[in-house]
Amino acid sequence: MYDTSHPAYTRLTTLGREITSTIKPKAILVLSAHWEGTATTLSINTAPSTPLIYDFGGFPSHYYRAKYPHTGSPQLAQSALRLLADAGIPAKPATRGLDHGVWVPFSILFNPETNPVSVPIVQLSLFDSDSGDAHYTLGEALAPLRDEGVLIIVSGQAVHNLPDFFASRGSLKPRDYALTFDEALKEAVEAEPAERKGKMGELLKRSDARKAHPTFEHLLPVFVGAGAAGKDKGVRLWTMCEGSVSWGMFRFGDLPEENGGEVDEKGAAKDCTKSIILSYAIDLVDLTYYICLELLMLTVKFEKLFESKRIMHYRAAEYMGRAEKLNSYIQTPATGAPTKNELRIISRSPPSSRIPLGLPQITSTKRFEDYIVQAENICGANNPKIFTKAEEAYKNLLSALNMLNLNISDGDNPLIPAIVRLCKASEAEGIVRLCNNFEIPILSFSNMVDGDYRSAIPRVTGSIVLDCGRYMNKALGVNEPGGYVVAEPGATYVGIDQYLVNKKLDQKLELNRSEHMVVLALGNIAESNMFTLYCGRGIILLNGDLLK
């Protein structure tokens, strides 16, 4: 977002000026790779005003204070809902902030200082599905909005394989599959409109598709745009392959003529809505990781140039080691972590509502039942919530788990037996002690803006999830002489940082934050570094006890 020297930044800036000066939309409907509904039901933001969601980690604090002025449009959202209903596509209203798949590129496209856009911005989710046909059909349903002056923008990436990037230690030499898939996407987008749907569908069947996109959420937005284009042809405006990712920017439809074009009584070009701007690979946040890795490799290569060369060399080697660990973690089948030795499947139909489908490897059914009895004594009946099937309860949390590769299940195999919603400090202390006594792993979660859940630790199969998001996520006070913040177990670094800003203490106290500002401030697993979303092993309870 701040790398103005990158070619994509220049291209996005030019594209933004084209939109504001030539297309002049009345409103913008946007879909990004970072918001999915369910497999069958969409969500659309109906709020007139929403905050930003800082759904990324590992960046300086000013990233989490970034602002992007915008307004929503309940009227546009309702129009979209009616069109979806007419097409038989289930959708529901939601109140949600703009994720970084929207506000980061929009900050460049429509820079508030140099190229502001004053029209409403409404975000619609994707399906939580790999179906190209479903997303193409979604676009077809939205197409009438273009005739009402609505510009449809979709945000994703032409090629998006971050695990391979980490494995390559930051090399920006284009991977073969990045080049071939990038060209295949161009051919599909630029196909004749009558053939385009079939060509787009073939992309998902290509042998290089899962290399280019280990998961399809960054590819599917273009299916929506292609579907909404109707009979308009598509064209690739620009592309650039870097390592295992590829930038691509596309447009469907012709631009209105700047001189002599047909205009209405208000002077606006009549066909301005016949342009759909598709900006791909506009996750500029990801680029920071690439740059960091390149710099780290340079420190190894040119360590003699640094006075503290031993420290720099150590740090570079350490980070590269972390990248290899992360790659190994991500490459393991299906869930990002091996399950055979960690989870014991009980039955597809548990004999009791107090027995989940799966348990931690060392825990017997009798022992788990004993754990539940004691947990209920601490937190009350029906808390924990035991997973005996694919239940709808805790839907937002389960969706977040799936988004973060912390799946509630590997196919039909459950990875998480139960969730406990913590309401007060005594419950947090009691449940953590109980899990330690029963040797059951913990996955603690909290929420940021609009229920955007984040975890302090990576998922371990068979973990009990501690949901601190609703009642236990506040900073409680600051001890200025001691230089520390008193916080509840679900407090995030972002929340604590904002608390210091609100109290006008951010200039007096420097937050010794994790590299990943969005994670919990408290956690119970081994390490923190630039590649992994977790923090220190010790937990300091509110009574001052240290648990390990």
DSSP code for 23: I
Residues 198 and 341 in one domain: no
Give the pLDDT score at 165. Answer: 74
Q: For the chain, what is the mean pLDDT?
A: 74
Residue 544: pLDDT above 70? no
**CA–CA separation, 28 vs 53, rounded Å?**
18
Percent of residues in the chain assigned helix, strand, coil, to nearest 5: 40, 20, 45
Residues 232 and 343 in one domain: no
Looking at 290, 312, 327, the residue that finishes a domain is 290
Which tens digits make up the pLDDT trace of 185-199?
999 999 999 999 999
Give the pLDDT score at 357. Answer: 63
Residues 317, 319, 323: CA angle, nearest 5 degrees: 115
**CA–CA separation, 285 vs 99, rounded Å?**
12
Residue 402: pLDDT above 60? no
Q: Residue 96 domain-assigned?
A: yes
**CA–CA separation, 153 vs 257, rounded Å?**
20
Give the pLDDT score at 351. Answer: 55
In 10 A of CB 207, how many CB atoms? 9
Backbone angles phi, psi at 540, to 5 degrees: -95, 115
Name the domain count of the chain: 2
* Domain interval for residue 525: 336-547
Residues 274 and 368 in one domain: no
Residues 374 and 477 in one domain: yes
Give the pLDDT score at 480. Answer: 79
Which tens digits make up the pLDDT trace of 277-299?
343 333 333 344 444 445 545 54
Comparing 138 with 276, the larger pLDDT belongs to: 138
Which tens digits make up the pLDDT trace of 122-161?
999 999 999 999 999 999 999 999 999 999 999 999 999 8
Residues 231 and 375 in one domain: no
Q: How far apart are the first and last CA of the chain?
A: 39
Whole-prediction pTM: 0.54
Which tens digits make up the pLDDT trace of 208-217?
999 999 999 9
Residues 399 and 514 in one domain: yes
Give the pLDDT score at 487. Answer: 79
Residues 257 and 168 in one domain: yes
Residues 259 and 343 in one domain: no
Residues 274 and 363 in one domain: no
Give the pLDDT score at 433. Answer: 85
**CA–CA separation, 246 vs 30, rounded Å?**
21
Instruction: For residue 272, give the CATH number of its domain.
Output: 3.40.830.10
Pick the range with the lowest mean pLDDT from 192-201, 252-261, 363-372: 252-261
Q: Which amino acid is at 462?
A: G
- The fraction of the chain above a pLDDT of 70, given in percent, is 63
Which tens digits make up the pLDDT trace of 44-61?
999 998 899 988 766 677
Comparing 529 with 510, the larger pLDDT belongs to: 510
Q: pLDDT band at residue 88, thresholds of 50, 70 and 90?
A: very high
Looking at 256, 290, 324, the residue that finishes a domain is 290
Residue 443: pLDDT above 90? no
Q: Residue 350 domain-assigned?
A: yes
Residues 239 and 346 in one domain: no
DSSP code for 540: E
DSSP code for 33: T
Q: pLDDT band at residue 358, thresholds of 50, 70 and 90?
A: low
Give the pLDDT score at 275. Answer: 37
- Nearest Cα neighbor of 186 from 207, 146, 159, 168 is 159
Residues 242 and 350 in one domain: no
Looking at 290, 322, 357, the residue that finishes a domain is 290
Q: 395: which residues sit within 8 A by CB, 6+ positions away?
A: 38
Residues 355 and 274 in one domain: no
Q: 129: which 2 tokens?
A: 């599905």
Residues 38, 44, 45: CA angle, nearest 5 degrees: 130
Give the pLDDT score at 267. Answer: 38
Give the pLDDT score at 104. Answer: 94
Sign of CA dihedral 194, 197, 200, 204: negative
Q: Residue 309 domain-assigned?
A: no
Q: pLDDT band at residue 256, thresholds of 50, 70 and 90?
A: confident
Q: Residue 495 domain-assigned?
A: yes
- Nearest Cα neighbor of 536 from 436, 434, 425, 456 is 456
Residue 466: pLDDT above 50? yes
In 10 A of CB 230, how many CB atoms? 18
Give the pLDDT score at 362. Answer: 64
Q: Residue 302 domain-assigned?
A: no
Q: Please name the residue that has the structure tokens 């790999």.
A: 130
Q: Residue 303 domain-assigned?
A: no
In 10 A of CB 169, how many CB atoms? 18
Instruction: For residue 377, give the CATH number of its domain.
Output: 3.30.43.10
Give the pLDDT score at 498. Answer: 80
> Across 366-501, where does the E strand assignment appear?
385-386, 409-410, 413-414, 418-421, 442-447, 453-455, 464-467, 475-479, 484-487
With contact defined as beta carbons under 8 Å apart, do 523 and 457 qualify?
Answer: yes
Q: Read off the pLDDT of each residue in 478-504 and give the average, rounded to a whole number.
A: 78
Alpha helices (H) in 343-413, listed in sequence order: 365-379, 395-403
Q: Please name the residue that has the structure tokens 């119970």.
A: 524
One-character DSSP codes across 275-297 = -EEEEES--HHHHHHHHHHHHHH
Q: Read off the pLDDT of each residue in 481-485 and give the average, rounded to a whole number.
A: 75
